[in-house]
Chains A and B, each alone.
Chain A
Amino acid sequence: MIEALGLTKEFRLFQRREGVMGAVRDLWDRDYQTVKAVDQIDLKVNRGEMVGYIGANGAGKSTTIKMLSGILVPSSGHLVVNGFVPHKERVEFCRRIGVVFGQRSQLWWDLAVSESFRLLSRVYRIPESVYRQRLDRFVELLEMADFLHIPVRKLSLGQRMRCELTAALLHHPDLVFLDEPTIGLDVLAKDRIRRFLSEINQELGTTVLLTTHDLSDIEALCSRVVMIDKGKIVYDGSLGKLQDSFGQGRTIKVDFSAPVNLAELHASFGHLPVRWETPESRRAIATFSAKEVAPAEVMKILIDQYPVLDIAIDATKIEEIVKEIYQGSVMV
Chain B
Amino acid sequence: MNAWLKLQYEVIRIQFMKMLAYRVVYFTGVFNYAINIGAYYFLWEAIYRHRSLIGGLTLEQMVTYVAVAWISRTFYFNNVDREIADDVRTGKVAVELARPYDYLTFKISGALGEALFRLFFFTVPGSIFVYLLFPVAWPASMASFGWFGLSIILSFAVNNAINLLTGMTAFYTLNTTGIIRAKHISIDLLSGLVVPISLFPEGLQLWLKWLPFQSIAFVPTMIYTGALQGDALVDALSRQFLWALLLSVLAWALFAIARRKMVVQGG
Residues of A within 8 A of B (CB): 11-12, 57-58, 62, 66, 69-73, 90-95, 97, 99, 101, 103-106, 108, 110-111, 115, 118-119, 122-125, 151
Also in contact, A92 and B21, with CB within 8 A (given A104-B95, A108-B14, A122-B6): no
CB contacts (< 8 Å) of A99 on chain B: these are 95, 98
- State which of B9, B21, B99, B264 has its C-beta within 8 Å of the C-beta of A72: B264
| Contact yes or no, B10 A101, CB < 8 A | no
**B-side interface residues, number (CB < 8 Å):** 30
- State which of A12, A106, A111, A115 has its C-beta within 8 Å of the C-beta of B95: A106
| Contact yes or no, B102 A94, CB < 8 A | no
How many pairs, one residue from A and one from B, have CB atoms within 8 Å of each other in the complex?
75
CB contacts (< 8 Å) of B95 on chain A: these are 99, 101, 104-106
| B128 in the interface (beta carbon within 8 A) | no
CB contacts (< 8 Å) of B101 on chain A: these are 91, 123
CB contacts (< 8 Å) of A119 on chain B: these are 10-11, 14
| Contact yes or no, B98 A91, CB < 8 A | no
Chain B 229-262 per-residue mask, 1 if CB under 8 angstroms from chain A, else 0: 0000000000000000000000000000001111
Also in contact, A103 and B266, with CB within 8 A (given A91-B100, A92-B100, A119-B11): yes
B101 to chain A, nearest CB (A): 6
Chain B 158-199 per-residue mask, 1 if CB under 8 angstroms from chain A, else 0: 000000000000000000000000000000000000000000
Also in contact, A70 and B14, with CB within 8 A (given A11-B263, A91-B102, A122-B6): no
What would be 9 A-B contacts, judged by CB atoms less than 8 Å apart? Answer: A12-B261, A57-B267, A62-B264, A70-B97, A94-B100, A99-B95, A103-B266, A106-B98, A124-B100
- State which of B14, B94, B261 has its C-beta within 8 Å of the C-beta of A115: B14
The 6 closest A-B pairs by CB, nearest first: A94-B100, A99-B98, A122-B10, A95-B100, A122-B7, A71-B97
Identity of the chain B residue whose Cβ is nearest the Cβ of A96 in the assembled complex: B100
Also in contact, A111 and B100, with CB within 8 A (given A62-B267, A119-B14): no
A251 to chain B, nearest CB (A): 27
B149 to chain A, nearest CB (A): 29
CB contacts (< 8 Å) of B98 on chain A: these are 69-71, 94, 97, 99, 106
Report the Cα distance A11→B267, complex, angstroms. 12
Report the Cα distance A29→B10, complex, angstroms. 48
CB contacts (< 8 Å) of A94 on chain B: these are 98-100
B239 to chain A, nearest CB (A): 33
Identity of the chain A residue whose Cβ is nearest the Cβ of B262 in the assembled complex: A72
| Contact yes or no, B10 A118, CB < 8 A | yes
- State which of A57, A104, A123 has its C-beta within 8 Å of the C-beta of B99: A123
Report the Cα distance A115→B101, complex, angstroms. 18
A15 to chain B, nearest CB (A): 15
B203 to chain A, nearest CB (A): 32
B4 to chain A, nearest CB (A): 9
| B18 in the interface (beta carbon within 8 A) | yes
